[in-house]
Amino acid sequence: MALPGSSDFPGRLVFHVDMDAFYASVEQLENPPLRGKPVIVGGVDSMRGVVSSASYEARAFGVHSAMPVAQARKRCPHGIYVAGRHALYGDYSRRVMDVLSDFSPVLEQVSVDEAFLDMTGTAKLFGPPGVSGRSIKDAIRARTGLTASLGAAENKFLAKLASDAQKPDGLVVVLPGEAQAFLDPMPVDRLWGVGKKTVQELHQVGLYSIAQLRAQPLESLVSHFGESFAGHVHALAQGRDDRELAPDWEEKSISHECTFERDSGDAEFLSAVLLDLSERVARRARKDGRAGRTVTFVWRNPDFTRQSHARSLPVGSDSSQAIYEAALGLFREVAGLGGDAPGRTRKGPRMFRLIGVRLFNFVQEGQQTSLFEQPKLASGLDRAMDAVRDRFGENAIRRARLAGQDDGTPSP
């Protein structure tokens, strides 16, 4: 692998930029006393949620994203657990992407905290990949105060692995001709598309490292795994990846969820939670300038099974009230409080471990959704509440759902 400042990169050049422990790092940046401490985003006052992000201080104890909070608390009982602030993370994400767009017009954002850049032919502008990579990292730190890890290689697959090779705050350049030496020691689960089940199947035929898989005849792999999958992993094991960047990425949906300390079947309580979740989803949609046409009520049963129920709106909307009314109607159907879906059992009301609201199928604000209909956009009340939150924080004002009513009124 080349060191920063290496010579010009022949042929195609792809960067992968990955923010380090993004949510947790933002929390540490916003709250200096948290710096240097094990910060875990998610699972505040609950043992039933999952970790959204963990600082590197928490990762030292084996805590990682998507881990159940109960398990995280066992591994890191002295960790500092904070609630996620997705609007804030979105603001930081936009700043990062603005920096990246200064270096390349071909940018594929794959999530809020990572992106690919096509840097082919940019050496005369920004220098060789080690130099330009350092410039990007320095610019991100100057604009946001956060660190990023960056990988540079001839394709997306190698660049992604390179960005992960020396986290946090890493910079790794894989030159053409060095790909095999970079890949060979890695385990087979580092290949894209290889999950837990496939790893077990590869191990059963004696393939543990990428070097072992690469040395295996393609025909042998086909006989075990089929032509499509065998060809895919065989090409990756040799460092080949022909995928182009897809620069028009945006979030496919906006969602917020709440996991309960105890399973709940209290319709009034669940409806109030649903109002808060709908408000958060709508606010993010308004900040992004998007209106969604489909609302989904998401829930998890006491047995951990996850289900969802969706409804299409007549027109796209970013209105808190419209999204809440749709989500509430879906909830009432699922809970057996109205509609055709049975929700009550012989033992009592339907119980929920988690509920959530998701908005997708977006149109842009001002875009006509049919010949006669315009998107149903935020009310003056929505905009006024947004202004209060922008100035005083997300929890400065909330709507209160009055008992027996399906509409919300603001409450301090």
**Count of other CB atoms within 10 angstroms of residue 297:** 26
Q: Is 114 among the residues known to form the active site?
A: yes
Report the alpha-carbon angle 360-366-372, nearest 5. Answer: 90
Task: Decide if 58 contacts 28 (C-beta within 8 A).
Answer: no
Q: How far apart are the first and last CA of the chain?
A: 57
Quote the CA–CA distance of 350 and 355 in Å, as a whole number: 12
DSSP letter at 222? H
Amino acid at the residue 197: K
Instruction: Tell me the CB-side half-sphere exposure of residue 2, using CA atoms within 13 A.
Output: 23
Task: Decide if 230 contacts 213 (C-beta within 8 A).
Answer: no
Task: Decide if 363 contacts 369 (C-beta within 8 A).
Answer: yes
DSSP letter at 245? P
**Unique residue bearing structure tokens 């990062």:** 96
Contacts of 50 (CB under 8 A, 6+ apart): 42, 43, 65, 66, 67, 68, 69, 259
**Unique residue bearing structure tokens 């009520």:** 297
- Per annotation, catalytic residue among 27, 57, 114, 333: 114
Based on its alpha-carbon atoms, the radius of gyration of the chain, rounded to whole angstroms, reads 24
- 253-264 and 148-153: which strand pairing? unpaired
Quote the CA–CA distance of 100 and 133 in Å, as a whole number: 11
Active-site positions read 114
